[in-house]
Amino acid sequence: MLQPDRIIRSTCPYCGVGCQVDLQIKDDHIFRVEAPFDAAPNFGRLCAKGRFGMDYTTHPSRLRQPLIRKDIGEKPRKPVGIEGFRPATWDEALDLAAEKLTGIIQAHGSDAVGTFCSAKATNEDNYLFQKFVRGVLGTNNVDHCARLCHAASVAGLSIALGSSAMSNSIAEMKDLDVFIVTGSNTSETHPVISTFLRQAVVQGGAKLIVIDPRGIEMTEFAHLWLRQKPGTDVAVFQAMAHVIVEENLYEKLFIEERTEGFETYIETLRDYTPEWAETISGVPADLIRQAARTYAEAETAAIYWGMGISQSVHGTDNTLSLANLALLTGHIGRPGTGLNPLRGQNNVQGCSDSGGLPDVYPGYQAVDDPEVRAKFEKDWGVALNPEAGLTTMEMVDAAESGAIRGYYVMGENPMMSEPDLRHARHVVEQLDFVLMQDIFLNETGEYADIILPAASFAEKDGTFTNSDRRVQRIRTALPIPGEARPDWEIIAELAQRVETRLGRERSAGFTFEHPSEIWDEMARLTPPFQGIGYTRLAREGGVHWPCPSPDHPGTPYLFADTFPRGKGQFTPLQFRASEELPDAQYPFILSTGRVLYHWHGGTMTRRSQLDHIYPEATVEIHPEDARTLGVREHARVRVRSRRGQIEVKALVSERSPQGTVFIPFHFAEAAANELTNDVRDPYAKIPDYKVSAVTIEVI
């Protein structure tokens, strides 16, 4: 067997499970990945992406030097390939970037710049990025892909509990009693978590309730499967709550001691019977009753959900309805219970924790709180903007109106992730300046004026925070290709150049020798992180925040005694139909999501050997619909919505219900978001990726 030159312990760069990996390095390539059996959270388990998808790090198309667009300044800007850029030195690229950003600020004000930090970058990268945006550029216009995946979970849980994080740990999953999985194709999106959940059923006798329109693998292990029509989640959850109240299954003492708004809430449930929900959702009333009883009567019960719940025009209501169920039954604040959004990308939790949101500093400290702002102003030595910034989608709106004139995008790909991509491209074409920082030239980079080459997870040090709030290390395993640099070093250099051009003295606020110093600064300003440091992480492997002091053990599960808002809040809800339903012209519901072998926009997996397994876009069609349309297996079809059209290969399968089709969103050449709708949840401002109306034509 080939022997490695060295083995480096790190954290997987894909989903939010945060699997620990041992990278085996030979000739400066990752040639094998193994999982340590003694390390949480995965204990020796890895999925296909974690085990076989790391070879993107040495793909020949990695960005190796700064690039400047040859036709810089021309408008409307058009997408160009690598041939549309010329090589530049770091000094030239950073000086020009600083000049362009400064020019926009001086001509149009600080809020004329929109910025995107990254759920793929480290906590340290993201902390320094938002510090630069707030402390140097002078705006709170900073957001990231959490807005497009779990913003509705964040909004709903913040209303109900005062905290938006996953409440319980992955380690508890194998010992569950009863649990609900909804809006999550767990075995493909979070494969390692799915093994623990299935272990709970097969070895522990747990009862699983799946609430999902698609026949995902988890349904094969389910005690009950509630197959609702897409977009009718609130109807099902409200009916379950109705049953729990009507049959006196709620936890009276917990409600009395730890919640508020109960009496008002239950008055609103009277009409939401299982029979009413059946007419809306298609789920038999008896199944709804069985699910409600199974969940309420359990000693402990947990709820897990994914983007099938949050990526909706009523995603916040979906989350609130789940929170109502947990508060009704007291299934929160104990091991084996809780409200658990399964976060998508490797550091989407950490990016939010580190201040990568427009309304909060690190640790979810509000930018409009004078005391909080004063603390950061004193530490950073600058006056800070007291107004919350714009979200991702609001920045698109502001760019369209001319209020935003430039973008700085670090490690994100909005030209793949935004809904209604035709509109998103039109907006970017009109911008005065686009600065891109990434490891590959992606669809957004094709519109950039300057591209700054960054280091991958395997070429730098730092921390990621996984879905259950566990802070873990990554470590340098490979040399950085060419002249690329770690993100935090690029940000620090750019910040000092912008400070100079704005007439300020270069501050010491961007002078760091190692990412650990950046973490220490963030932890000093963020109470939940103050007991976590690099030395402790090296010793213990990972620590769950909140961890307020070095002698604190960390917090695997939340809300044992209280909620951050004091008492849990019951929220009355009304069912609202989806914004765009099928009609004669567009008779099918389109839902989008992920497949096992790819990740999000495909920037990494489509440059790995995994692309050979799933090389092209597909549309999943029910056999009855395929028969009506005359579509055969693997035939090429055109899928069209009111916004655009794509051509894909048909997969005829009963996995999707009749009248619904499913398209993965990993393929730029047939991007599902050409079809999706820009309509948004009114609270979380997240677009509805799960219910759009389409038609299908045989090519």
CATH at residue 206? 3.40.228.10
Task: Please state, in angstroms and rounded to a whole number, the distance separating the CA atoms of residues 424 and 491.
Answer: 26
The phi-psi region of residue 634 (left if phi > 0; otherwise alpha if psi is between -120 and 50; otherwise beta) is left
∠434-438-441 over CA atoms, to 5°?
80
- 259 phi, psi to nearest 5 deg: -135, 170
Question: Are 11 and 124 contained in the same domain?
Answer: no
356 part of a folded domain: no
| Residue 568 falls inside a structural domain | no
Low-confidence ranges of the chain (pLDDT < 70): 146, 148, 506, 508
pLDDT tens per residue, range 288-321: 999 999 999 999 999 999 988 887 888 899 999 9
List pLDDT tens digits, range 36-58.
999 999 999 999 999 999 999 99
Specify the number of domains making up the chain. 4
Tell whether 423 and 496 lie within a shared domain. yes
**Amino acid identity for residue 439 in this structure:** I
Residues 44 and 73 in one domain: no
Is there a domain that residue 134 lies in? yes
Question: What pLDDT does residue 313 have?
Answer: 83
What's the pLDDT at 21? 98
The answer to whether residues 336 and 366 belong to one domain is no
Residues 389 and 379: their CA atoms lie apart, in Å, by 21
Same domain, 450 and 540: yes
Q: Tokens at residue 379, please?
A: 């530490």
614 with 678, same domain: the answer is yes
Other beta carbons within 10 angstroms of residue 188's beta carbon come to 20
Helices 487-501 and 90-108: crossing angle in degrees, nearest 10, is 50
Dihedral (CA of 257, 261, 264, 265) sign: negative
Helix 315-329 vs helix 151-160: crossing angle, to nearest 10: 40
**Residue 595 burial (CB count, 10 A):** 18
Quick one: pLDDT at residue 533? 94
Edge-to-edge strands of the sheet including 20-26?
6-11, 20-26, 29-34
Can you give the pLDDT at residue 148? 66
Indicate the burial class of 263 (C-beta count within 10 angstroms; 0-12, 13-18, 19 or more). Answer: exposed
At 633, which CATH number?
2.40.40.20
pLDDT value of position 508: 65
For residue 421, the model assigns a pLDDT of 79
Asked, for residue 654, whether it belongs to a domain, the answer is: yes
Tokens 């010793």: give the residue. 539
Q: Among all chains, which residue has been given the structure tokens 């070879």?
A: 55
**353 lies in some domain:** no
Instruction: Give the residue among 320, 228, 204, 355 at the shortest CA–CA distance from 279.
Output: 228
Domain with residue 87: its CATH number is 3.40.50.740
CA distance 466 to 556: 12
For residues 593 and 691, state if they share a domain.
yes
**CA dihedral for 337, 341, 345, 347, sign (positive or negative):** negative
Please check whether residues 462 and 398 belong to one and the same domain.
yes
How many C-beta atoms surround the C-beta of residue 203 within 10 A? 10
Cα separation of 587 and 581, whole Å?
8
Q: What is the DSSP letter of 57?
A: G
Residues in CB range of 656: below 8 A, 6 or more apart: 213, 214, 215, 591, 620, 621, 622, 662
650 domain residue, yes or no: yes
Q: 428 and 535: one domain?
A: yes
Question: Final residue of a domain: which of 342, 371, 392?
Answer: 342
Q: Is residue 665 part of a domain?
A: yes
Of 520, 544, 568, the residue that ends a domain is 544
Residue 292: alpha-carbon gap to chain centroid? 29
Please give the pLDDT value at position 146: 67
To 10 degrees, what angle do helices 370-380 and 515-525 make?
150
Q: Which domain holds residue 428?
A: 67-146+362-544
Evaluate whether residue 521 is within a structural domain. yes
CATH number reported for the structural domain that contains residue 15 in this entry? 2.20.25.90
CA-CA distances (angstroms) from residue 595 to 145, 349, 461, 466, 609? 18, 21, 29, 20, 15
Q: At which of 309, 342, 375 does a domain end?
A: 342
Residues 283 and 322 in one domain: yes
pLDDT tens-digit map of 627-668: 999 999 999 999 999 999 999 999 999 999 999 999 998 898
Same domain, 445 and 519: yes
- Within this chain, do residues 445 and 517 fall inside the same structural domain, yes or no? yes
